[in-house]
Every structure is written in C-alpha cells, then in structure tokens.
A and B are shown apart, each in its own frame.
Chain A
Amino acid sequence: MNPDLSTIKRRLSGSGLFMTVGPICTKISIKFPSIRDEFMHIYKGYSFSEQPEITDYYLDVYAKSFYRRYVRPQVALNTLTRNNFVPLPESMGLLSVEMGMNWQVAFGCKTHVLFHAGVVERDGIGVVIPAISGSGKSTLSAGLAYDGWRFLSDEFGMLDVDTGLLYPYPRPVSLKNESIAVMKDWVGDPEPFSREYEGTPKGTICYLRPPVPSLENMHKPVRPRVVIHPVFNPNAKPSITPLTKTMAFFRLVRSSANYGDIGEAAFHALTKVAEETISCEITYSSLEEAIALVNQFIDENIS
C-alpha cells in the first residue's frame, strides 16, 4: 500500500523514502522543493514505502552549502558508491536524480546481465532494442509502449542469468531533442511528460512516464524472443537486415555494461539468447515506419 502524497513529500524532504522499481530498491531524499515536485510528478504511480526495506542504493540530492541552497542553487548528489558528481544547477534538477540512479545501477547491478537497451513485450514475446545513442532506441521503445505494448525498460535491459528471463525496470524514458515533439504528438496527452530541460550536455531532455499497465506489471518477467537494432536515417528507405547468430551475440556483448564482470554465467546466458532469439537491424525514417517494421519482422518470423 503506497503512503499518501503528504507522507511521500515529508519523507522525501526528510529522512528518505524507499522506492522499488523492478528488482531494485533505492532510498531517496531530495532537499529542493522544485526537484521534489518534479520527481513526484514523473514517478506518480510508482511503488513507495516509508517502512524500511533492504536497500540497494542511496540517493541524496542536496545543496553543497547554505550559499548554494539559496543564492545560486546547485544540486549535489550523494550516493554510497560515489559522491563527486559534477553539481548541476537547480533548474536541471531531475537530471541529477536520474543520473544518480543510472550510475548506481550501471556499476552496482551484477545479478542481472545489463543491456543498454529498451525492452518491450507483446503477446509474451520479449523484444530487446539495444542501441548506440542517437539510433532512436528510446523513441522506439516509448512509441511501442504507447501503442499497446508492455514497456519493461528504456535504459537498462535486465536479463536474469539463471532463468534467462528479462526483468522489468520501468524507469521514466529519457527523450532527447527532436524525439520530444515526436513523442508528445504520439502520446497526445501532456500529463505523463516532465518539463523540458534545455541546455544539458545532450541537448534538450524530457522524461516520459511509462503507461500505467507497464508499472503495474513491473515484477513480471518475459522471455526474450527478438532483438532489434534500430538505425535512424531520415533519407533511407525502410529495410530489415537479419543478423547471424554470431553477430547477434557480439552485439549483445557490446551493449552490455557488466558482461565482463559476471563472466562465465553471462557467456552462457548470452549465447543462449543469441541461439533462441531472432535478430535484425532495421533502418527507418519515422516512428510509424519503425513500428511497422518491428511488427512485420515479428509476424513474419514468429508463429
């Protein structure tokens, strides 16, 4: 049972609030009212608790000094693993929260093979969308999520090495630059969006909360069946290029943040994924096109 809004606010500003997303529990406190409000908006409907839970990560968003708090507000971040993040101005607030959580997962999580990938599901078919930045991975996973698919994750695909299943970690989608307008148009409702943060190192950033059913199913795993590597090219004709198993394997290795650390178990898990999934590269010039290609590839190859 989630605590009420005023309790959430009080715990966030004080001793900390426990938030569980998929397999990970983070204790969060935020000392800036503006960032707190933005946080509560984008994480509306997530699972919170004021009762202590065994905690994976700690995130403390605070001002370095009294001067920094009131005169030229700067946000500092403290996590257990690292506390020398470059402070961000208060206006970029939510960015620091997301950055801090991503950093801790990327370096701390070893129970699952992490892919830098979006993960979505349709009819029990798990689809992994690994990609380099700029390929439209986030836009494609968010686009599918708001087209009736279940959204599992945008930043981190999590594969359990024992069961070979993908576990959801449905944090807000981080949209960049041109894709923000595309998604606002696609979703049609401004409510699940954060405000737009301009002038970040990656340009303009806007966060999008995943659809409610995806959040409700955040503990339900899915078997990976398809891997899709999107390539955005505004001038290209839409195309699908199948990948060999070996190529599929090494692309998964390359997109994984912790393959090298997990070692042997990750080798077995990824060869299994490469054997049991079908992989392709799709080239597209618009979101509609990309979604049509994904559906086409699945319908043609999976009965």
Chain B
Amino acid sequence: MLKLTVKDWNSVFFAAHMLKLRGRLASDARENGLWEQLPHKAQQILTNARIIAEARQRKVMWEVNRLRRALFGFEDKVILVKGGAYIARGLRAAKGRISVDIDILVAKKNLDIVENHLLLSGYASQVLNSYDQQYYREWAHELPPLVHPDRMVEVDVHHNILQVTNRLCPNINLMIEAAVPLEDNIYVLSDVDILLHSIVHLFVDGTIKASLRNLLEQHDLISEFSQQADFWTQFMDRAEELGFGRPVFYCLRYCAHFLNTDIPSEVMTRAKKAAPGFLTLKIMDMMIFRTMVPYGTGGSKVTDYLATNGLYIRSHWLRMPPALLAKHLTRKFFRRFLKS
C-alpha cells in the first residue's frame, strides 16, 4: 500500500467502491500498522469509509437490541444470521462491512408469533401489494420485509436459509437445534453452519455481482474458525449431512484460487467428491473468473455482463422450478409494463 502513486490510489478506491470493500480496506490499513505512513488524503478517504461502516454496524446492532426488546416474552430461539451475526460475534468477516438490513431465522411454527410481536412493537410490513404478499407467503423462505418507522432498518424474518422449492433446501431444524445463545432469546448459528450459510448464499442464491467481497467473507470465516482443532472434520461432516457438498466444493476451490486460503489437502480431496463434471466446472470457472474482476477495468464489458447475469439466471433457476419461475417473471414483467 505504501508504494502506490496518486493514480493507483484512485483506482484502488474506485475498485474498492465498486466492490463495496472500502470499509474493509480502511480496517485493514489500520491493523497492518501502515496507517501513519499513508498520504493524508488517503487517510481521510479511508476514515470516511470506516465511519460509514461503523455507523451502519451500530445501526444494525441497535436494531438487534430493539428486536430483542420487541420479542420480550417470546420463549423460543431468534437466530441472527449473515451480517448481523458477524457483527454481533465480532468476527473478522464483519470488519468494515456495510450491513444494511437484518436477517433473522425462526422456526416456521413461530413465524406468526414473531410477526405479531414485531407488528405490536410498531414494525410495519414494506409489502402492501397483495400479489407480492401472497408470493412471499406461498413461495419465499421469509416474511415480507418489516421496518420500524423510527429507525428504517429492514428486518427480514426467515424460516429457512433457502426457498423451500430449492433443490438444495436443507432440513433447517438441524441448524436451528445447533444454534448457540447470544443474549436472552437471541441466538446465532454454530460456526460450521455460519460458514455453510454464507457459501450457500454465494453459490446458490441471489446475484453474484460483488462476489469477491463474498468470497473474502468466506475466506475470513474459514481462517478464523479453522483455528479450532476439529473444525474441518465437523465442517465437512455437516456439509454432507445437509447436502451442501457441491457449493462447498466451489467455495473451497475459488477461495484457494483467489485468496490463497489455507485449506488442508485432505479436505480438498474430500470436497472434490462433490465436484461437477468436467464441462460444467469449465463453464463455472469461466463465469467466476469474469465476475471477480471489478467492472470496467479492462476485459470486455459485454462478457462481464453476460457472466454476471448468466450466474444470476443460474441461481434464480435453482431457486424455483422452471415453470414457476416463468410465471413469476411474467407477472413481474407485466406489472412493470403496465406502470410505464
């Protein structure tokens, strides 16, 4: 970081901005003892990024505090997942992270009770359209987002980590049982489940646009958790038990490739059993390598675009059976069409 020219700094900040990694850069620069030697202007920009990340995290943790208050008297587990859990646990993966909303996981039988507690405490549903309400309740793995008007932080209440229609949808009760307490009725997933959840999100669910950031998250989780002696065995056993062999294989492959993550060779060998066929792997490699490169820094924008969207289509396809997907896309399409 010390040898950078002004031009380098600008492109580093640009790429970090696009990948939403500025906060992480700020946190790393301070920890590496380089801080004092950085140009004043770079310090200033990194300080902005650090304060923004800290402010977001404070907001998220305060919302968790308010959730705990709203769920006072609810006797079962409320499991904090994703960013909220990393921040609450003080994990390395939370460093400089800009979290914007909160995800909690509760047993499906508790969905209505939890929703009622939140509505009584002043939270309001963000989805008023009845088609979307219906869609959420029928097909999604979560309630329509809830927001408290005083704080405007979105709270997503999940009853599974994947949509129930997803081929990879796990037996969520296993994860809920293994969750560990944090404060009162607020819990977090066990270490191995935290990592598996992150992996499943990157390689199965959602878009893959900021995937370097997500891969870094997994790298951080692996590096931190694998300090415990029996982590790898527990992790691989759990991955197989929950049926996540394939996404785990991808994660380990790309973490090792891009971030030089320390993965024991016997673990890699075991993960390879779940690898896809030669051609599928080739295509996946091509798409991943493309999306790892920040936008507009060399390479063809068209192929970048296709790769990003190709992956999105692929993960969307995994989420719902094809016919259902077609129906959903058509409804969305027509509503958009009517509006314009």
Contact = CB atoms under 8 A, between A and B. Distances in A.
A contacts B directly in the complex (CB < 8 Å)? Answer: yes
B51 A53 contact: no
Interface residues on A, range: 10 to 19
Contact of B42 (A51, A54, A260, A262): A54
Given A56-B45, A80-B14, A110 B51 contact: yes
Interface string B291-304: 00000000000000
From A23, A54, A108, A260, residue with most partner B Cβ within 10 Å: A54
Given A54-B10, A80-B17, A109-B48, A263 B41 contact: no
A51 B7 CA distance: 10
Main secondary structure of the interface of A (DSSP, over half): loop
A51 B45 CA distance: 19
Contacts of B13: 54-55
Interface in A81-138: 108-111
A261 B51 contact: yes
Interface string A135-160: 00000000000000000000000000
Given A80-B14, A260-B55, A263-B55, A54 B48 contact: no
Contacts of A201: none
Nearest to A24: B44
Nearest to A260: B55
Contacts of A54: 6, 9-10, 13, 39, 41-42, 45
A52 B44 contact: no
A37 B17 CA distance: 31
B167 interface: no
Nearest to B41: A54
Interface in A22-73: 23, 25, 51-56
B100 interface: no
A52 B7 contact: yes
B58 interface: yes
B54 interface: yes
B52 A261 contact: yes
Contacts of B45: 54, 56
Main secondary structure of the interface of B (DSSP, over half): helix
Contacts of B55: 110, 260-263
Given A110-B47, A261-B52, A25 B7 contact: no
A263 B41 CA distance: 22
Nearest to A262: B51
B30 to A, nearest CB: 14
Nearest to A108: B48
Contacts, number: 44
Contacts of A110: 47-48, 51-52, 55
Given A25-B41, A260-B55, A263-B54, A52 B48 contact: no
A67 to B, nearest CB: 18
Nearest to B56: A261
A29 to B, nearest CB: 14
B41 A53 contact: yes
Contacts of A52: 6-7, 10
Interface in B37-78: 39, 41-42, 44-45, 47-48, 51-52, 54-55, 58
Nearest to B4: A54
Contacts of B42: 54
Interface in B314-336: none
B47 A55 contact: no
A23 B17 CA distance: 20
Nearest to A57: B45
Contacts of B14: 80
B47 A111 contact: yes
B44 A111 contact: yes
Contacts of B54: 263
Nearest to B6: A52
Interface string B1-25: 0000011011001100100000000
B48 A53 contact: no
B58 to A, nearest CB: 7
Contacts of A80: 14, 17
A80 to B, nearest CB: 6
A52 to B, nearest CB: 5
Nearest to B39: A54
Contacts of A108: 48
12 contacts: A52-B10, A53-B6, A54-B6, A54-B10, A54-B13, A54-B41, A80-B14, A108-B48, A110-B48, A110-B52, A263-B54, A263-B58
Interface of A: 23, 25, 51-56, 80, 108-111, 260-263
Given A25-B41, A53-B41, A110-B55, 18 more contacts: A52-B7, A52-B10, A54-B6, A54-B9, A54-B41, A55-B10, A56-B44, A56-B48, A110-B47, A110-B51, A111-B44, A111-B51, A260-B55, A261-B51, A261-B52, A261-B55, A263-B51, A263-B55
Q: Which 9 A-B pairs have the closest CB atoms?
A: A110-B51, A261-B55, A54-B41, A110-B48, A52-B6, A54-B9, A111-B47, A111-B44, A52-B7
